Chains A and B, each alone.
Chain A
């Protein structure tokens, strides 16, 4: 890798998920959502997980977050096993989940109930500045655009100084231009904070642009087929030949090569 790798701060933790199994009860028998999934994310590393809908990628992320329990297997963040959701594993979803009755500022400060009010708001404002929402502290969520609401949701995660960021298709509902803008913002913040990130997406471009590695997941049963190392310097150029090459390789994992070639020969 040609980029200098910053020394990860002591807060970043690694993520170890070993032998994860998960089934759901379906109408016609059990559905195996995850079968024997192992992932290891190094401290400060950015892992993208890509797969089609229903491949279990969100379930995997929810298990790492502690929102769901695996039927078998263990998850540990740093030295601590994951038993329930905690604030040092910040999770963000496709929907912003801001509380509509609170202002942006109070939404961001919502997880800081243990701090004195003044300090909580100061930290919230710092996070709001970090995501570029200054000036909207007193706005209510319905006054925000989709991209701004996701910025606020990101600030609400960052304000807790998480060791690990878990992002479940966070930009999936945004228009293409806002999405690119948000990806760049996320990179900027990640490069500054260097927390460990898992991003779940169905967007190949996004997975390659953001990830140090990309995990390719396939469905029924949900398994990780393999990992792709994205050895591209940052900042990455989406139109560079190397970027397209990695993209194409991942594309080939999901579709036959001839189809992939057809797309890129135009």
Chain B
């Protein structure tokens, strides 16, 4: 089967760079070219990881971090979709509110931290609020685009079939905007995950997957830091992968979806 062979070969190519880096890393630590305190050996990192993976704290922290990310992400999705559809569907609303939102978008999410922590304290609400604020613009703006990309023919169809305003929004506008909304959700999910890491790192340190970044740094345990970084990468990747699965399922009706998405 040449097709599957091609895909297999294609996938293996993606591993070339990580394997090269691993080889280089092994070489560097075997020859002790860099102080092991700054760059521990792969074996050291594996051992530490193995130990940490067997602690209750790790899994609890991971659960808490993922819960924060998803809570912020879902709030941003719901708010963003409603605001985006409202602004996209109503030219008036977009004229009045649109410019303010574009200004809002220019504010770096971290700039909100002092304000949000002053309002909500240093606890979980602050973290989730920060994650939501960070993820929100991506959802809003792609949703507006999606709504405005609605084909005039479909608008006319709804008119000639006397479709009610509610069904028009839920069954014509929203599904038609869905591919664009998902583009925003992909971005928002990445941002939410990174914002989780940022919030955990900069706001009051507590349980969470970033704990190891902070702890490793203060104990000068770079193996722990690398474990923390790996966690950020792996779970960021997994979240994106999961969302892609959901997207593909919901957008089955699109003819190009299966061929375009690859993976």
Give chain A's interface residues, CB within 8 Å of chain B.
Answer: 65-67, 84-87, 89-91, 93, 95, 97, 99-102, 110-111, 113, 140-142, 156, 160
Q: Are A99 and B167 in contact (CB under 8 A)?
A: no
User: Whole-angstrom distance between the alpha carbons of A140 and B254 in the complex?
Assistant: 9
Q: Are A111 and B153 in contact (CB under 8 A)?
A: no
Considering only CB atoms, which chain A residue lies closest to B257 in the complex? A142
Chain B interface residue number, banded? 20 to 34
User: Whole-angstrom distance between the alpha carbons of A113 and B168 in the complex?
Assistant: 11
- Given the known inter-chain contacts A100-B254, A101-B175, please indicate yes or no for A65 contacting B160, CB distance below 8 A: yes
Chain B interface mostly: helix
User: Whole-angstrom distance between the alpha carbons of A65 and B252 in the complex?
Assistant: 34
Interchain residue pairs A-B with the least CB separation, the first 4: A111-B161, A142-B255, A85-B160, A101-B175
Q: Which A residues touch B161, using CB under 8 A?
A: 87, 110-111, 156, 160
Q: Are B162 and A85 in contact (CB under 8 A)?
A: yes
User: Whole-angstrom distance between the alpha carbons of A84 and B254 in the complex?
Assistant: 32
Contact sample, A vs B, 18 pairs, CB 8 Å cutoff = A67-B156, A84-B159, A87-B161, A91-B160, A93-B153, A97-B153, A97-B157, A99-B157, A99-B176, A100-B253, A100-B254, A101-B176, A110-B161, A110-B163, A113-B164, A141-B253, A142-B253, A142-B255
Q: Are B163 and A111 in contact (CB under 8 A)?
A: yes
Q: Which A residues touch B255, using CB under 8 A?
A: 100, 142
The smallest beta-carbon distance between A157 and chain B, in angstroms, is 9
Q: Which B residues touch A84, using CB under 8 A?
A: 159
Q: Are B159 and A67 in contact (CB under 8 A)?
A: yes
Q: Which A residues touch B178, using CB under 8 A?
A: 101
User: Whole-angstrom distance between the alpha carbons of A111 and B156 in the complex?
Assistant: 13
Q: Are A111 and B159 in contact (CB under 8 A)?
A: no
